[in-house]
Amino acid sequence: MSKCLLFDNDGTLVDSEHLSSIGLAMMFENYGIKLDADELVIRFRGWKLTSILSLLEEENNIKLKSHFVAAYRDIVTKLFTRELKPVEGIVDALEALDGEKAVVSSGPLQKIKHALNICGLSKYFINNLFSSYEVGIWKPDPGIYLHAAKSMGYRPENCSVIDDGLVGVKAGVEAGMKTYFFNRFNEESNTVGVVPFQAMKELPKLIGN
């Protein structure tokens, strides 16, 4: 049984990825480009925002304005405030799971805090929040999960990762941690050693509680 549980945030704890993708599609409409929010979710879950934007700039042969990211963050914050919900079954799973818990996310720290507060999940993690923007490491680099484990005083083999993105799953396995893939979209993972599941109600039994 793992002593430390490291949760991804977007798509794992909070059902935010479609809202974030809607925000991105809204921003690209200003450039006369139509993006499909559902497709964006599938393609870019867990990615670094600058990497997403660089690829979309290249694919659409455009140059985004300097204020793009700030305007995008503002739209997403408003969407979250109005519509964000916790992932189905996550509250019951968190209540059932023993062990210290942390959030390890590619999103900015303020976005993590905002999302957790809206969804009523902050109490499960307190200050155990690790953002790639604070650490300077993005998934699939395992360093983000290794940093979180070390900061909380645990060895990698005593930690479990719960992530819904292929880049996060890869990071967890390469960090030497038991990794659970919240595979809502029935994707194929080529990463050896991953434990897939499709509903949060399955997680406590899988982890061993």
Residue carrying the six token digits 């307190």: 126
Residue of 8, 10, 163, 164 with catalytic role:
8
Task: Classify residue 159 by its DSSP letter.
Answer: E
Residues 6+ apart with CB under 8 A from 133: 107, 108, 109
- Rounded Cα gap, residues 14 and 181, in angstroms: 15
- Structure tokens that stand for 168 in this block: 């996060």
> What is the DSSP secondary-structure string of 30-77?
TTT----HHHHHHHHTT--HHHHHHHHHHHHT----TTHHHHHHHHHH
- Structure tokens that stand for 104 in this block: 């390890």
Residue 141 a catalytic site member: no
Residues 6+ apart with CB under 8 A from 203: 93, 97, 162, 180, 182, 197
Please give the torsion angle defined by the CA atoms of residues 3, 136, 164 and 78, in that order, rounded to the nearest 10 degrees. Answer: 120
> What are the residue numbers of the active site?
8
